[in-house]
């Protein structure tokens, strides 16, 4: 009866494993799609599980390179931090997966696509907006939003009843999404924003208390806004992020604990781990401070906020986001140079900056004898500056 072909965004986790069976029972032929974005775990294992549950196929693709070059680095160049804190690791991953799924839908001649997101979150929006924009007319099924399995416990019971192999136990507390750019954790006792996260809410980053007693320095080199080397050693983009993740995690850098505003109107408490991202945003901003003129710097803050909103709200493939990328790339022409970051007890701080395009002028800034700034001009400048506001 399987005449309704469907591509399911599959993670190997509980929701999407149960979704395979649920969809099959409703007459769909399910093809699972797994994108490797650096989440770790065993894709082969997930694939086996999908096939055992009854998926017709499970397609696994390594999307890491494209994820870094076309999603992570543009967001870094934009300075995109949602509500000034969250680096959008999860938000950036949805449009790339959704777009790849549609390619598979085309080649498999599938009319349906599905995801395992709930009706309360942002991810459903990110998937579905991309589906609609990139393949008008595609039919979207959202099992988790529709089914009667309202709790994790009932999903586990359903899985047991239908012999769906799952790794989860009822004890598991957090909902975790992981990729190269960061880890997003929510649920469990994090739902009380008055409570400090327990240590087990963080997976890779050391507690600042336990971080080394001595600081460590890392120098990040940028070429036109893109990080290309660490401590003088050229690295491929994935290797560079992995390296900085390790540096940061060791020093307790990159833990974020915040309350954020979801698109659907819910405030939500989340913790994030993003060591490389923290280091890179600090370094990138420090370099921009050195090489960009002040009007561009300040205008770009506004762009960063708006850009983050677009990404967070699922509007990656939209004209405004594209136009921002063009603007941002123009500003990055000068963003080349080396920034030294000091890592110490949970903090990443820029302590040295160098660039062939530096706008810093020692002769203007110095209070020493090299000073060439004509202080006599300041009086007239201030008179004119204040003039419009004087009463007479
Ligand atoms: N709140 C973040 C976002 O909307 C992360 C959501 C991640 N999902 C999860 N299962 N933890 O992008």
Work out the angle at residue 126's Cα, subtended by the Cα atoms of residues 125 and 130, and round it to the nearest 5 degrees.
Answer: 110
Does residue 11 line the site of ligand 1, with CB under 6 A? no
What's the 354 CA to ligand 1 centre distance in angstroms? Answer: 36
Q: Which atom of ligand 1 is nearest to the CA of 90?
A: 12
Does residue 186 line the site of ligand 1, with CB under 6 A? yes
List own/partner pairs for 171-178 with CB under 8 A and 24 or more apart: 174/201, 176/203, 177/39, 177/89, 177/90, 177/93, 178/38, 178/39, 178/40, 178/203
What's the 337 CA to ligand 1 centre distance in angstroms? Answer: 33
* pLDDT higher than threshold 70 for residue 317: yes
Residues of the chain with CATH 3.90.1260.10: 178-354
Mean pLDDT of 277-284: 99
Residues designated as active site: 15, 94, 123, 175
3 state DSSP class of 223? strand
Residues of the chain with CATH 3.40.50.620: 4-177
* Pairwise CA distance, residues 183 & 43, whole Å: 18
Confidence of residue 2 (pLDDT cuts 50, 70, 90): low
Question: Which residue puts its alpha carbon closest to atom 4 of ligand 1?
Answer: 122
Task: Look at residue 91 in the predicted model and tell me its pLDDT.
Answer: 98
Does residue 128 line the site of ligand 1, with CB under 6 A? no
CA distances from 250 to 86, 199, 244, 360 (A): 20, 15, 10, 33
β-sheet bridge partners, residue 34: 60
Helix H or strand E encompassing 31? strand 28-36
Q: Which atom of ligand 1 is nearest to the CA of 123?
A: 4
What's the 149 CA to ligand 1 centre distance in angstroms? Answer: 20
Q: Which one of 75, 87, 122, 263 would you pick to mutate in the ligand 1 pocket, going by the greatest count of ligand atoms within 8 A of its CB?
A: 122
Pick the CATH number of 4-177 from 3.40.50.720, 3.40.30.10, 1.10.760.10, 3.40.50.620: 3.40.50.620
Question: Which residue puts its alpha carbon closest to atom 8 of ligand 1?
Answer: 177
Does residue 270 line the site of ligand 1, with CB under 6 A? yes
Q: Which one of 13, 14, 186, 269 would you pick to mutate in the ligand 1 pocket, going by the greatest count of ligand atoms within 8 A of its CB?
A: 186
Range from 64-73, 153-162, 244-253, 336-345 carrying the lowest mean pLDDT: 153-162
Does residue 245 line the site of ligand 1, with CB under 6 A? no
Q: Which one of 123, 179, 190 would you pick to mutate in the ligand 1 pocket, going by the greatest count of ligand atoms within 8 A of its CB?
A: 123
> In percent, how much of the chain has pLDDT > 90?
94
Confidence of residue 257 (pLDDT cuts 50, 70, 90): very high
Domain 178-354 has CATH 3.40.50.1400: no
Q: Which atom of ligand 1 is nearest to the CA of 185?
A: 11
List own/partner pairs for 252-255 with CB under 8 A and 24 or more apart: 252/205, 252/206, 252/207, 252/208, 252/209, 252/210, 252/211, 252/345, 252/346, 253/205, 253/278, 253/279, 253/343, 253/346, 253/347, 253/348, 254/182, 254/205, 254/278, 254/279, 254/348, 255/202, 255/205, 255/346
User: Which residue, chain included where needed, has tokens 């957090």?
Assistant: 174
Mean pLDDT of 108-114: 98
Task: Look at residue 392 in the predicted model and tell me its pLDDT.
Answer: 72
Q: Which atom of ligand 1 is nearest to the CA of 268?
A: 1
Confidence of residue 37 (pLDDT cuts 50, 70, 90): very high
* pLDDT higher than threshold 80 for residue 26: yes
Contact yes or no for 96/65 (Cβ under 8 A): no
> In percent, how much of the chain has pLDDT > 70?
99
What's the 244 CA to ligand 1 centre distance in angstroms? Answer: 22
* pLDDT higher than threshold 70 for residue 373: yes
Range from 33-47, 108-122, 264-278, 371-385 carrying the lowest mean pLDDT: 33-47
List helix spans (H) across the chain. Answer: 14-25, 43-53, 64-67, 73-78, 89-108, 123-134, 143-146, 152-161, 237-250, 275-291, 294-312, 319-331, 362-365, 376-386
Q: Which atom of ligand 1 is nearest to the CA of 174?
A: 11
What's the 121 CA to ligand 1 centre distance in angstroms? Answer: 8
Confidence of residue 233 (pLDDT cuts 50, 70, 90): very high
Work out the angle at residue 95's Cα, subtended by the Cα atoms of residues 257 and 305, and round it to the nearest 5 degrees.
Answer: 50
What's the 177 CA to ligand 1 centre distance in angstroms? Answer: 7
Mean pLDDT of 135-162: 94
pTM, entire model: 0.96
What's the 325 CA to ligand 1 centre distance in angstroms? Answer: 24
Q: Dmax over Cα atoms in the chain, in whole Å?
A: 88
């Amino acid at each position: 009866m399987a005449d309704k072909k469907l591509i399911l965004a599959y993670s190997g986790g509980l929701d999407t494993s149960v979704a395979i069976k649920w969809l099959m029972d409703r007459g769909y032929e399910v093809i699972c799609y797994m994108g490797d974005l650096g989440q770790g775990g065993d894709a082969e294992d997930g694939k086996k599980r999908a096939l055992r549950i009854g998926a017709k196929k499970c397609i696994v693709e390594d999307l890491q390179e494209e994820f870094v070059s076309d999603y992570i680095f543009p967001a870094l160049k934009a300075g995109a931090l949602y509500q000034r804190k969250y680096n959008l690791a999860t938000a950036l991953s949805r449009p790339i997966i959704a777009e790849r799924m549609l390619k598979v839908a085309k080649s498999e001649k599938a009319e349906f696509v599905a995801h395992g997101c709930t009706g309360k979150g942002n991810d459903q929006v990110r998937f579905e907006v991309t589906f609609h924009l990139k393949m008008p007319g595609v039919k979207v099924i959202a099992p988790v939003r529709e089914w009667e399995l309202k709790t994790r416990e009932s999903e586990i019971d359903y899985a047991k009843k239908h012999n769906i192999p799952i790794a989860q136990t009822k004890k598991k507390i957090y909902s975790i999404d992981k990729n190269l750019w960061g880890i997003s954790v929510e649920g469990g006792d994090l739902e009380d924003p008055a409570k400090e996260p327990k240590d087990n809410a963080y997976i890779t980053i050391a507690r600042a208390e336990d971080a080394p007693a001595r600081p460590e320095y890392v120098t990040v080199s940028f070429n036109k806004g893109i990080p290309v080397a660490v401590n003088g050693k050229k690295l491929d983009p994935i290797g560079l992020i992995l390296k900085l993740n390790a540096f940061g995690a060791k020093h307790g850098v990159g833990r974020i604990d915040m309350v954020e505003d979801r698109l659907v109107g819910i405030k939500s408490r989340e913790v994030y781990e993003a060591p490389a991202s923290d280091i890179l945003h600090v370094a990138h901003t420090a370099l921009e401070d050195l090489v960009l003129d002040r009007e561009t710097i300040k205008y770009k803050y506004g762009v960063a906020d708006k850009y983050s909103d677009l990404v967070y709200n699922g509007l990656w493939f939209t004209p405004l986001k594209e136009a921002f990328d063009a603007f941002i790339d123009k500003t990055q022409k000068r963003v080349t140079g080396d920034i030294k970051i000091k890592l110490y007890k949970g903090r990443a701080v820029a302590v040295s900056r160098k660039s062939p395009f530096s706008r810093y002028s020692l002769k203007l800034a110095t209070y020493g004898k090299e000073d060439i700034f004509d202080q006599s001009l300041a009086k007239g400048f201030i008179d004119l500056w204040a003039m419009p506001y004087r009463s007479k």
